[in-house]
Structure 1
Amino acid sequence: MAVFGRVASGCALALALLLQADFAAAASNSPKIVIQPRSTNSVICDSRGCFGFGERQFYTRPGQPLPITPPYNGGVNRYDAPRVQIPPRETYMPPRAVYPSPAQQRARHQMWCSERYRTYNPGTNLYSTIHNGFRTCHSPFD
């Protein structure tokens, strides 16, 4: 019961403070909306394009290059000269040539012959012909 009394007195006190406030003065002193000026030499890009502010104001459509290079450092683009420069290699190492193993060559040969001749036998490396009996398969992978 004591808790309920404290809550009720707190609500009564808050209501009294609200009623004392001068609503007319609060309504006449509406808050001012202040738009901060854009910082000089700034660019904002969105779906409509890029807008440049500062000494040179500009607008470009989406996909068009900017007329001046950002970020602005007195006309010098700081991304043109990287701080870390990697020296070129003194020696050239050509990539290693990959040669297939004999088992891979044999498998490629057998695949080529079996795709080319329906009667190819990989165990004997022969295929049958209509009139000449059996012949040896010769593939580009021999």
Structure 2
Amino acid sequence: MTVFGKIAIGCVVSFLLLSLPDLANAASNSPKIGLPPPVVGPTVCDYRGCFGFGSQQWYRPPGYPIPYTPPSLDRRNRFDNPRVYIQPRNNVPPRTNYPAPVNDRTRHQMWCSEHYRTYNPGTNLYTTLHHGFQTCRSPYY
């Protein structure tokens, strides 16, 4: 007998068994077992979906509507009353009218910086190839 024949015979036998009134009635009127109602636990929703906990756990993928969970009366939102109080900052803007360093340069420093590329106005020195550091001597000094 071929595989198709076995499948056809199995379908016919199952239809005959379901068509009998006593077997169909017995299958539909099964005795109810006294199970307690499921205890509703907390619900956690994140990017993966919603997870329900309690006596019966469940999962809903993202995109389904979020189930209504009544807020519990004994738990407060932990962000409403923080434990640590941080004082607000004084919003005083920093002083922005700093004098530009170029405005403080004297004519001596301007002359030295134009003549010596490595001139440092803070120390009044410039570097040379053979003698190290030399003091700048300008006509304005």
Taking structure 1 as the reference length, what is the TM-score of the superposition?
Answer: 0.26
The structure with more radius of gyration = 2
Taking structure 2 as the reference length, what is the TM-score of the superposition?
Answer: 0.26
